[in-house]
Amino acid sequence: MSFWSAKETTELRSLKYLARFNPEVLSEDTNPDFEFDYIDIGGVTLEDGVRHKEAMRFETAPSRARKPVRSGDVIVSTVRTYLKAVARIDETYNGAIVSTGFAVLRPNADVDAGYLYRLCQANAFVSDVEARSTGVSYPAINPSALAAIKVPFPDLATQKAIAAFLDRETTRIDKLIAKKERQVELLHRRAKQAVAELVTGATVEGLATVETGLDHIPCIPAHWSLLRAGHLFREVAEPNTDDLPVLSVSIHTGISDRQLDDEERDRKINLIEDRSSYKCVRPGYLAYNMMRAWQGAVGASTVDGAVSPAYVVAKPTRDLHSLYYQFLLRTPPFIEQMRQGSKGITDFRLRLYWEQFRLIMLPVPPLEEQRRIAAEAERELAHADEVAAKIVRSVALLREHRAALITAAVAGQIDICEYPTAGISTSDRDRFRFVVGAEIIHQHRSNPRFGRVKLQKELYLAETHAGISELDGNYLREAAGPLDRAQVEETERALEAKGFYRKHQPGGAGTLVTYAPLPKAGQHTDDLKALLGPRADTLRSLINLLRDLDKEAVEAVTTLYAVWNDALIDGHQPDDTMIINGVLAEWHVEKGKKFKTEDLSRWLGWMKRQDLTPRGQGTKTTTGRLFV
């Protein structure tokens, strides 16, 4: 059975012909003091690769820490195959030791490491691995069965093209996923902040307030009062009856309103057959997990139920709306109060007993105000959850698209040359070029070191480092560094046509270019903020960082950046020697004449100190008219 489509089935080869399996193993007489980074199966995911490593010594390392890996290797889990642990090893993890639960694949000379990695990420390959695995609770695949799996095997040039395409496209998708996940995070954070302002009375403007003298709630509305928790609630331990559902308290959602199912019980609590030691909760009761109160595990019950003996249950002693106090006690200042009151030497041993909880000072709004605040807080959180759910669904679809794209590309179902890439309209691109160019020139308006070369280089860095992808440059590896001549000339023409700046080159072609201000010089700032948002500040910081560099220095820095960034886009982690060699020997013949190794090494060190280091974003430079 093959999980590849019928078209590829006749063009498949066994994986063992693409790579050497487990080429290195640590011997048992390895030096006990040998130190290394250890990668276990739990630290690897299909989408993100290696997410966790642990430094250790051979003497104290687990017996499964035995397989060394090198840059370019691909690791595939052969045990617990449902985890789908696959990763590409780059320079960051070169020399690490991985678990014997991985198969280490070292690509043959006619196999591109990037292609091999994407091949092992493909849905068809993963499905084949799972189908060949044996065992129910601990499924595993025999190494020989893994080696026998058949996969597409195009020529090396096609492999490289597919790997580069997928690196580019998955990076774009991953950035979009990260942006959406950040939106979800901010959405929940804003909702929690809104709730915190509601429950502490900070939302009503012009309302008279009084100071409390307390750090966790410095002031409250004047018509509120303050009481200790022990004056609002009393601890109760009503015996449970077998017919009451077992509930739990979540640090995210408060007390559940339904009984835990068998799977949840096994996972969340150690359910005792005799439930008589469980505590009864009634609607309006407050309950908190003694061991997790410092994380916000507190809630108000809306149903009759039972909770674990590890919970404290508190019954109101007066008319109050317990849900208000659930929201209040889950705000950071009150969570901190519960943490400070907990007993224990480390976080995981902290316990909050009633004797300490009862001392916490709590605000007491009028009862109807408690109800109104709680209702508003519920609406605020429900709206955030509703919007977040839509974003989460869109992220799931993006992940599905990413996985399908990888499978289709390695299977040869996509014509890489004709596949459309994301882009923007020409009119939008020209607006960004005009505004960014105007900002660069404006910020350098009194800088005698500024000229056309710096404009060119800062446009490139604006796109690749400041993340202004809308500049949409096509940068060539020419003598002066990454250059998009059409981009610069179009920017200059637009600046003059709109009355901002005019190019000034009195000495003729090949001589110094400066920019003379026109009547509208400096009047671009509103457009800059509207188009770039927070990226405008990043752009200004970049310009300011490069302000004092002369033409040769900015050329050296930008070319080093481009070589480094190109390597990251290709999935490599170059060291300093590789970056410098890329400038001197692989860029343009003029670079070797213009710069020395020690000069580039000095500028590379400066870049790292200034955090002017690439992240593999933006467009990759192309050879253009190299050596012509």
Residue 501: strand pairing partners: 517
Q: What whole-number distance in Å separates Cα of residue 519 and Cα of residue 527?
A: 17
Q: Which residue has the tokens 């849905």?
A: 123
- In the structure, what pLDDT confidence band is assigned to residue 169 with cuts at 50, 70 and 90? confident
What is the tens place of the pLDDT at every residue in 490-500?
999 999 999 99
Share of the chain above pLDDT 90, in %: 56
Strand segments, DSSP code E, in 4-160 are 12-14, 19-21, 35-39, 44-45, 49-50, 54-57, 65-68, 74-77, 86-88, 97-99, 102-107, 150-152
pLDDT of residue 417: 61
The mean per-residue pLDDT over the stretch 12-37 comes to 94
pLDDT of residue 433: 93
The mean per-residue pLDDT over the stretch 452-463 comes to 92
pLDDT of residue 443: 93
The mean per-residue pLDDT over the stretch 307-331 comes to 94
pLDDT of residue 412: 87
pLDDT at 271 exceeding the cut of 60: no
**168 vs 545 pLDDT, higher one:** 545
- In the structure, what pLDDT confidence band is assigned to residue 421 with cuts at 50, 70 and 90? very low
pLDDT at 252 exceeding the cut of 80: no
What is the tens place of the pLDDT at every residue in 366-376?
999 999 999 99
Query: What does pLDDT average to over the chain?
Result: 87
Q: Which residue has the tokens 């660069």?
A: 440
Domain 6-153 has CATH 2.70.50.30: no
What is the tens place of the pLDDT at every residue in 380-394?
999 999 989 988 998
Q: What whole-number distance in Å separates Cα of residue 495 and Cα of residue 524?
A: 10
Q: What pTM does this model have?
A: 0.60
pLDDT at 26 exceeding the cut of 80: yes
What is the tens place of the pLDDT at every residue in 543-567?
999 999 988 999 999 999 999 988 8
Beta strands at 311-316 and 286-289: parallel, antiparallel or unpaired? antiparallel
The mean per-residue pLDDT over the stretch 13-42 comes to 94
Torsion 509-511-517-522 (CA) sign: positive
pLDDT of residue 241: 72
Break the chain down into helix, strand, coil percent, rounded to 5.
45, 15, 35
pLDDT at 94 exceeding the cut of 50: yes
Q: What are the residues whose beta carbons fall under 8 Å from the beta carbon of 76, sequence distance 6 or more?
A: 85, 86, 102, 103, 105, 120, 129, 146
Q: What are the residues whose beta carbons fall under 8 Å from the beta carbon of 591, sequence distance 6 or more?
A: 479, 559, 583, 584
What is the tens place of the pLDDT at every residue in 171-219?
888 888 888 898 899 899 999 999 999 999 987 767 899 999 999 999 9
pLDDT of residue 420: 46
Phi then psi for residue 313, to 5 deg, are -110, 135
pLDDT of residue 6: 55
Torsion 534-535-541-543 (CA) sign: negative
CATH superfamily of 209-364: DNA methylase specificity domains (3.90.220.20)
Distances (CA, A) of 322 to 234, 283, 284, 315, 316: 13, 9, 6, 9, 8
pLDDT at 422 exceeding the cut of 70: no
The rounded Cα 547 to chain-centroid distance in angstroms is 31
- In the structure, what pLDDT confidence band is assigned to residue 256 with cuts at 50, 70 and 90? low
pLDDT at 265 exceeding the cut of 60: no
- In the structure, what pLDDT confidence band is assigned to residue 16 with cuts at 50, 70 and 90? very high
The mean per-residue pLDDT over the stretch 87-91 comes to 90
What is the tens place of the pLDDT at every residue in 461-500?
999 998 888 888 888 888 877 988 889 999 999 999 999 9
pLDDT at 245 exceeding the cut of 60: yes
Q: What whole-number distance in Å separates Cα of residue 224 and Cα of residue 209?
A: 9
**189 vs 261 pLDDT, higher one:** 189
**CA 450-454-459 angle, 5° bins:** 130
Share of the chain above pLDDT 70, in %: 91
pLDDT at 269 exceeding the cut of 50: no
